[in-house]
Amino acid sequence: MKIISYLYLIILIPVFFSSCEKMDDISLSQTVFIEDPYYPGLPIYSEWGYNTFGAYIDRKPFISTEYELPVKIIVNPDTLHIIFRGRMDNMDVDLKLSIKGYSPATYYDLTELDNTTINLKETGRQAILKTTNETTILNLIEGELKFNRVQLLYVDEELTRTIVSGYFNLKTFLNDEPIAISYGRFDFGIGYENFYNY
């Protein structure tokens, strides 16, 4: 009887550890939302790959959700597109920032952006706001995208993703009225499921 019990243990231990590895990979892509005590409705600024972002559009929180991928990075031919996907006032909202002249081949090449600030008003930059009802190319008054920290994440000595963290702020026009997208912050794990180069 003891021999059979030991055999079960020998069979079950590798199954348990292989299922833990799969759970770790899944948990790395989940959203961890910790509210900022100083900016209600927004996530705290972090550099841990929490897969969150948030900003105020005027005074309304625009934040990532646990149901949608909060970011996609798309590179095509010579332009990097970052799509923040979230919700504001029970409405789906996408903010797409495009940076011409930068085209990383893989998600680990994003480390070139570490400690970099991009002026979104410069030539070759674009911001598009998409809501459930309309898509608007934003005429920017000013705008900045800051990559505070970009670091590689290894799990069991294997590169699994790149953690990209930073801030963004924009002043623009919406419906012929000036608005601010302020206190923007992001902390993403970028990997196979949300980096596309084609």
Q: Count of CB atoms within 10 A of residue 121's CB?
A: 14
Please state the pTM of the whole predicted model. Answer: 0.85
Q: Please tell me the predicted confidence (pLDDT) of residue 33.
A: 96
SS (H, E, C) the chain: CHHHHHHHHHHHHHHHHHHHHHHHHHHHCCCCCCECCCCCCCECCCCCCCCEEEEEECCEEEECCCCCCCEEEEEECCEEEEEEEEEECCEEEEEEEEEECCCCCCHHHHHHHCCEEEECCCCCEEEEEEECCCEEECCCCEEEEEEEEEEEEEECCEEEEEEEEEEEEEEEEECCEEEEEEEEEEEEEECCCCEEEC
Task: Look at residues 98, 63, 64 and name the one whose alpha carbon lies nearest to residue 82.
Answer: 98
The CA-to-CA distance between both ends of the chain, in Å, stands at 58
- For the chain, 198 residues long, the average pLDDT of each consecutive 10-residue run is 44 42 58 97 97 97 95 96 96 97 96 98 97 93 98 94 98 94 98 96
Look at residue 26 in the predicted model and tell me its pLDDT: 52
Which tokens is 50 given?
């929490």
- The per-residue pLDDT for 27 is 65
pLDDT at residue 88, as a whole number: 96
